Structure 1
Amino acid sequence: MGFGKKLTALVLAAAMTAAACSCGTESGKSTAGEESSQAEEKPDFRTEMRDDMTTGDIVAEMGLGINLGNTLEACGDWIDSSGGVNSYETAWGSPTVTEEMIAGYAAAGFDSVRIPVAWSNLMGDDYTVAPELLDRVETVAQYVLDNGMYAVVNLHWDNGWIAGFSTDYDTCMEKYTRIWEQVSERFAGYGDHLILESMNEEGCFDDLWNHYSGSEDGKAEAYSIVNRINQKFVDLVRSSGGNNPERHLLIAGYATDVDMTCDEMFQMPEDSAGRCAVSVHYYTPSTFCILEEDADWGKAKTTWGSPRDQRILEKDMEKLQTRFLDNGIPVIIGEYGCSTGNKTEDAVRTFLTAVARAAYSRGMCPMLWDITGVFYDRSSCKMIDSQLEQELRDIAETARN
C-alpha cells in the first residue's frame, strides 16, 4: 500500500475487495481455509495497544489521512432532530456513511481518517450525549479500524459554543468535561489506532486578543484559556479507564494556526504518559485555499505553485519542525485543502500534493479536508481525480527515500 508502513498486503486486499464490491465490480472468492488463515493473520486494530510505539511512531504509521468532513459534525437549529442521528449526519450533503465508503478510503491509499463530531447534537440539558450518537460515532470509527486505518475522533465546531470560554469559563468547562468524560468512557477499550483530539480550530478568543490588531493586550489571557482547555482534556482522558491512561492524544494548537501555535505562549499540556501530538491546519494562502471570488478582505488567487508560494510553504513547515519536531513533539496537519471553484485541476493538485509532500517528508501526518463530492466520491467509493490519487501514493512511496 502506498501510504505508511503499517498495513500488510492482506489488509489492503480486504479493503480493496470491499470497495470493489460497493461499486458493482466482480471480485474473487476465498475458500473457507483461506478466510480462516486471513482471520488469524489480521491484526486486531480495535483493541491492540502497543507499549513499544511512541506517538511519533504512531504519526508515522498514520501516513496520509483524510477527513470525513461535513458529516458527523453537521449541526444547526434548523435540523429536524426527530430523524435522529441520520438527520444530522446527512444535513450538510453527505450520504449516510457506509462501511464500503470507508473501505474505499483504504483502497485509495489513505492510512488514517479524521472524524469530526458535533457532540451537542441530541444532547440533554445535563450535557448527556444521546447514546445513539455515541453509538453512531463508534460504528463509523469501527469501520475505519476494521479497514486497518487510524481513526481520529474530535470535538468540532459544534455550533460554536467553545467561544463562550472567554465570558463564561465555568459553564463551558462543565460542558467540555461532561463531553470528554462520556467519549473517553465509550472508547476506553479501543487500542492505539483510536486517537482522541481535544478540539478543532475554535481554540482562539478574538474578543480577548485579535492577532491582526498588532497589540499584545489580552494575548496572555487568550492563550491561557486554550492551554487550560488542553490540559483538562489530557487530565480527563488519563483519569478514565481502559486504555485511556496510555492513549495517544492530539492537542489542538491555538486556532490550529501555524504561526500562533508556534508562538511561545502556546504550551503543550503536561502528560504523564508522554503521548501527545500537536495539531495545526493549513489553508495558506487563504486567498487561494478559501476564496473562489474576490472579497472585501482579499483578492481571490486562482493559481498556486510559484517560487514564492513554495518558499512560504517550506518556511511554515520549518517553523513546525523547529518548534515541535525538533523538541520531540509529533505534528499532525489535521486539515489541509482548498476550494476548487475558479481554479484549474492542475492548480488544486499542485497545492495539495506540495503540502502533503512537505509535511510527510518531515514525519508529519497531513490529513486532507474533504466533503462530499470534492475529492472523494462517497457514492462510487473512489477518488474523483485519479491523477491526484496516484500523486499522493507516489509521495508516500518516495518522499522519505
Structure 2
Amino acid sequence: MKKHQKFIKIVTFLSLITLLGTSLFVPSVFGAPYSYDLTATDTVLDMGIGWNLGNTLEACGSWISGTSVSNYETAWGNPVTTKAMIDGVKAAGFKSIRIPVAWSNLMASDYTINADLLKRVKEVVDYCSSNDMYAIVNIHWDGGWFANFATNYDESMKKYTSVWTQISSYFKDYPKNLILESLNEEGCWDTIWNRWSGSTGEDKTRAYNILNSINQKFVDIVRASGGNNASRCLLIAGYSTDIDLTCDSCFKMPTDTIKDKLIISVHYYTPSTFTILTEDASWGKCATTWGTDAEINQVKTDFNKMKTKFADKGFPVIIGEYGTVTTNKELASVRRYITTVCKTAYDLGFCPMLWDSSEHYSRTEAKIKDTELAAFFYKYKDASRITIPTATPTMTTTPTVTPNVTPTSIIVYGDTNGDGSFNALDFAAVRLYLLGINNGPTYSEWKKASDVNGDGNVNSIDFALMKSKLLGLINKFPVEQ
C-alpha cells in the first residue's frame, strides 16, 4: 500500500474513533468490560429487561409472494426493521432483544438457507450490538414443522441439524452478546402425550425425550462449530416453554462441554383467559381485568418454581416471552400485569422479555405508546445487577487474557491472544493494554497481530479498527488490503 493511501486510512479511522464514541473508558462494547466471557448467570443478570421483535422475521405463510426477505419481514403488518427502531428500544430501557426467525421462509429443498436471510438477521443483530445490547436468535414457529418429529423423527432431525449447522457456522465468530436459542414453543408433541390426557409412562417419556434429544443436538452442533460458539451462552427451550411442564422430572437439561454456559427459557401467559383471549372461547371466558392478590401471588409462585428448579442450580432463567393483548382489556389491568411479571422476574435474577408485535412499542415513533408503561421500563435503563470492575489507578489486580490454544507461526491480524481467530477477546486484551493494566498477553507475536493498521505501534487507531470489524463496518484491516 502506498504511504499516502495509508495516511488517508489512518485519518479516516481517527475520525471513526470520534464517530463511534470509542473512548478507552466507555463502559463496554459488547456487554460488560473485562467480562466478555461471563457465566450464564452473570450474563442473564447483565441482560436487564428485554423486548421481542415480534411478528417480523418469524412471519411466515404460503400466501406470501416473492423471494425478498422484506416481503416476509413485513407480511404480518410490521415495517422493515431499522436501526432507529432498535435505538428507540434501547432508549426505552431495554438491554436485550429477542429476534424470532422463521428460517424455512427462504430455504431450498435440501434445507439450505437463503444467504440474504442470514445476512438480514445479522444486520438486525448488528443493530443490537451497536447499542451494547444482547441479542437472541432462534428457530421460531416456522410453519409448524416441529410437529413432524412425532411422525418422522429422522427427517425432522436432519432438517434441524442442517439449519443449526448453517446458523452456527455463520455466527461462530460473532461476539458473545449474541445468544442462540434452540427453538421456540414447539417443543411438545400433544399427539404423543399431553397433560390433559391423563396418560403417563412411556408416552410421556417419549414426548419429553424428543425435546431432550433436540436440545442436546443443538448444544453439540453449536459447540462443534468453534470460534466464539465454543463457549457462547446458549438458551435451552423448556417443554412447551411452560413452567410446570419444564419443571417436570422428565425434562433434562443437555450436557455441555463447558461449564456455566446454559440458560433455560420459559414463556409466561398465565392466565391465558386474560393474556390471550379477546372474546369468549369454547375453552374459557375472556377476562377483562387482572390483579387480585391471588393472581399476583400466582406469578410469584410460578417464578419461584423456576428459581428452585433451575436458577439455584446454576441454570439462570430467561422469560423469553410474556405479555397480554390489549383488546377488550382494562388498561390499568394491562399495566398491572406487565409490570408485575417484569418486576417479579427481574427481582429473582431472571431476564423478562416482553412480547410485542407493535402493540406496546411504536416502531414508527420509536417509543413505548403508553406513557405509564414507558416510565416503568425507563427505570431499568441504567440498572445493573452485576459488579463490573472499572479501570482506575488504584486497581491491584491485573486481568489477563491467555491463549486458548498453542499459537501458530501464522499471524492472524487482530488475533491478540493467539487463539487462532479475531474476536471480542482480542479487543478486550488491547483495551487492557492501552489502559496500562497489563503489558500485553503472553503470546509472543501479539504486538504484530494487534498492529492492524500497520504503523508499527499498538494504539487507539488499532483499537478503533478492531471495534469497526466487530461491528461489521469493515471486512478487512488495512494491513490485509
The TM-score, its normalising length taken from structure 1, stands at 0.88
- Flag the 1:141–1:49 CA change in 2: closer, same or farther, 3 A: farther
Q: Is the 8 A contact 2:187 2:241 kept in 1?
A: yes
8 Å CA contact retained: 2:242, 2:267: yes
Amino acid at match of 1:159: G
Q: Deviations over 1:223-268 (max 9, x none)?
A: 0000000000000000002110100000000000000001111010
Residue aligned with 1:60, SS: helix
Residue matched to 1:15: none
Q: 1:336 to 1:36 in 2, by over 3 A?
A: closer
Percent of pairs with identical residues: 52
Query: What residue is the counterpart of 2:178 in the other structure?
Result: 194
Which whole-Å CA distance do the structure 1 matches of 2:34 and 2:192 have between them?
41
Unaligned runs of 5+ in 2: 1-13, 386-481
Q: SS at 1:250's partner residue?
A: strand
Deviation of 1:395 after TM superposition, in Å, equals 6.0
Query: Per-residue CA shift, 1:76-117, capped at 9, x if unaligned?
Result: 0000024x1000000001100001011110011100000000
Based on CA coordinates, which of the two structures has the bigger radius of gyration? 2
- SS of the aligned residue for 2:104 comes to coil
Mapping of residues 1-400 of structure 1, within 5 Å:
35=18, 38-41=21-24, 42=26, 43-45=28-30, 50=35, 52-82=37-67, 84-217=68-201, 218-274=203-259, 275-372=261-358, 374-394=359-379
AA in 1 matched with 2:345 = A
Note the residue ranges of structure 1 that are not aligned, 5 or more in a row: 1-30
Equivalent residue letter for 1:126: D
How far did residue 345 of structure 1 move? 1.6
* Cα displacement string for residues 112-143 of structure 1 (whole angstroms, at most 9, x for unaligned residues): 00000000011001100000000000000000
Q: Distance in 1 between the 2:178 and 2:148 partners?
A: 29
Question: How much has 1:399 moved relative to structure 2?
Answer: 11
The offset of 1:311, in angstroms, is: 1.6
Counterpart-to-counterpart distance in 2, 1:162 and 1:48? 39
Q: 1:131 & 1:276 partners in 2: Cα distance?
A: 28
Q: Is the 8 A contact 1:360 1:396 kept in 2?
A: no
**Aligned equivalents of 1:100 and 1:396: distance in 2?**
17
The two structures have a TM-score, normalised by structure 2, of: 0.74
SS of aligned partner of 2:324: coil
CA–CA distance in 2 between the matches of 1:320 and 1:149? 25
Contact 1:65 1:368 in 2 (8 A): yes
Give aligned pairs, total: 369
SS of the equivalent of 1:223 reads: helix
Contact 2:91–2:381 at 8 Å: present in 1 too? no
AA aligned opposite 2:125: A
